[in-house]
């Protein structure tokens, strides 16, 4: 799992601007296809070949809460979730009592704390930086997130304190399954149904699972590990209104898994957070199954399943390739449909296609539907080759990576899906200029 860095600070010091500056706007062509609204509370960043997760605690908002309550929520999340903490402060204002309050909350973490003194693009404020050494942080760095000044120096400090990326403790043939979804959709009940035991405490109150739980088991001589996460640690009232914190837990489970079971509650229907969480899995290029739980609670007729599928396909347009399973984790109704689908999407996630077969499909597709001019050029695909599995990643060598319209990218992906069984798994098409 990637190490994590959290940005903390009082309001209006530029946390979100700093977050966006570090993450950058490196939107890949696939991002334009997803059709989802991204929750900007987290992102992946890299510096000098070191990757890490970045958490914007400024995205945690507690309405009608006093300053100290909100900052406590930020500090709690930073302490729990991160390996390195960036304390963002306003260099123009100088050191304020509220900055000291934040630092006092962070001291107990025993984690490296880097003070990023922001808004120092003007020379006349730069002497203010010396006041912040009083905080006793691991490092103090002068920056301007709005102008991009000092960001490299800040990231140098960050990676100096980063621990090594956690290696996967499971063998490569172990199928890692994460059960994700918003609180109270039945994640723990599904875990119990899979394992056949009440190993995970189940309650009707959301947030009662206290942490991610890994459980290994064997089925039909195949080895699995199921990762169950509630998405929210119940650590007192501070988190009760912080719904978006759930997404951090879901993201960690997604990163570690091969197959994501994205749970939807048939009783309450599809919610915005369902799409956010599904979007995390898609952006991480995981194998996926949409699991409609509590199917037993619905009054059904011959059209119910078709109506639900139509609704899901409309709401999750960016997951048109993902299969849907309808079941009841509580009564175990239709559970027998789940594992064959898990095994199929896992195989597809590991699928490798020969170079000759790939190029045959790509060339046929381009003959049937030649690309149109985009940015004053017509793209030419010289050849394609698969470079990895989990998920299948295919490099297309082209004349200019900037002249393929996203609709043509989607067209080529669809042609590959028509020819090969990629049900349930993303395909990562990477454009590369031919040398």
> 257 and 320: one domain?
yes
pLDDT at 213 over 70: no
85 belongs to a structural domain: yes
> Which domain-ending residue is among 161, 195, 218?
161
- Token digits for 320? 């048109």
**Measured between alpha carbons, how far is 308 from 104 in angstroms, rounded to an integer?**
51
> 329 and 364: one domain?
no
The whole-number pLDDT of residue 204 equals 43
169 belongs to a structural domain: no
> 195 and 143: one domain?
no
> 191 and 306: one domain?
yes
CA atoms in the 13 A half-sphere facing the CB of 395? 9
> 41 and 62: one domain?
yes
- CATH number of the domain bearing residue 371: 3.30.300.20
What is the rounded radius of gyration, in angstroms, for the C-alpha atoms of the chain?
24
Is residue 71 very low, low, confident or very high in pLDDT (cuts 50, 70, 90)? low
> Which domain-ending residue is among 295, 317, 349?
349
The whole-number pLDDT of residue 98 equals 84
Structural domain span for residue 126: 4-161
166 belongs to a structural domain: no
> 261 and 394: one domain?
no
> Which domain-ending residue is among 314, 349, 384?
349
The whole-number pLDDT of residue 226 equals 87
Least confident piece of the model among 36-45, 78-87, 202-211, 270-279: 202-211
**Measured between alpha carbons, how far is 371 from 381 in angstroms, rounded to an integer?**
10
Confirm if 62 and 242 have CB atoms less than 8 A apart: yes
pLDDT tens digits along 332-391: 999 999 999 999 999 999 999 999 999 999 999 999 999 998 888 899 999 999 999 999
In the chain, the number of structural domains is: 3
12 belongs to a structural domain: yes
- Token digits for 185? 């959709």
381 belongs to a structural domain: yes
The whole-number pLDDT of residue 107 equals 85
> 197 and 307: one domain?
yes
> 198 and 242: one domain?
yes
> 116 and 9: one domain?
yes
Among 224, 229, 190, residue whose Cα is nearest residue 206: 229
């Amino acid at each position: 799992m990637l190490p994590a860095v959290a940005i903390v600070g009082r309001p209006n010091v530029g946390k979100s601007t700093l977050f966006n500056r570090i993450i950058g706007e490196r939107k890949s062509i696939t991002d334009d296809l997803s059709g989802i609204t991204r929750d900007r509370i987290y992102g992946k960043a890299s510096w000098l070949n070191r990757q890490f997760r970045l958490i914007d605690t400024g995205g945690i908002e507690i309405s009608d809460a006093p300053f100290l309550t909100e900052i406590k929520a930020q500090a709690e999340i930073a302490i729990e979730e991160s390996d390195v903490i960036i304390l963002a402060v306003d260099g123009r204002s100088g050191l304020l009592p509220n900055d000291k309050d934040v630092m006092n909350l962070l001291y107990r973490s025993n984690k490296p704390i880097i003070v990023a003194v922001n808004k120092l693009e003007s020379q006349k404020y730069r002497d203010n930086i010396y006041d912040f050494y009083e905080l006793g942080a691991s490092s103090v760095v002068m920056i301007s997130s709005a102008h991009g000044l000092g960001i490299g120096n800040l990231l140098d400090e960050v990676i100096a304190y980063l621990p090594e990326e956690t290696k996967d403790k499971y063998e490569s043939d172990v199928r890692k399954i994460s059960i994700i979804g918003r609180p109270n959709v039945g994640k723990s009940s599904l875990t119990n149904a899979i394992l056949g035991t009440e190993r995970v405490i189940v309650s009707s109150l959301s947030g009662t699972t206290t942490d991610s739980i890994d459980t290994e088991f064997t089925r039909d001589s195949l080895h699995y590990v199921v990762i169950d996460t509630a998405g929210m640690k119940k650590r007192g009232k501070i988190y009760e209104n912080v719904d978006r914190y759930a997404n951090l837990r879901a993201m960690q489970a997604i990163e570690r898994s091969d197959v994501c079971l994205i749970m939807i509650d048939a009783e309450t229907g599809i919610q915005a957070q369902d799409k956010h969480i599904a979007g995390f899995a898609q952006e991480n290029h995981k194998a996926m199954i949409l699991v409609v739980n509590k199917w037993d609670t619905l009054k059904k007729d011959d059209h119910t399943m078709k109506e639900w599928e139509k609704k899901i396909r409309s709401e999750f347009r960016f997951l048109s390739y993902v299969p849907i399973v309808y079941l009841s984790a509580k009564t175990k109704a239709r559970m027998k449909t789940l594992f064959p689908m898990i095994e199929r999407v896992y195989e597809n996630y590991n699928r490798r296609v020969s170079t000759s077969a790939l190029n045959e499909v790509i060339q046929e597709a381009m003959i049937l539907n030649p690309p149109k001019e985009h940015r004053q050029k017509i793209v030419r695909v010289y050849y394609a080759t698969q470079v990895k599995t989990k998920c299948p990643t295919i490099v297309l060598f082209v004349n200019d990576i900037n002249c393929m319209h996203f609709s043509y990218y989607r067209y080529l992906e669809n042609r590959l899906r028509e020819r090969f069984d990629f049900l349930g798994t993303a395909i990562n098409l990477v454009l590369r200029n031919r040398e």
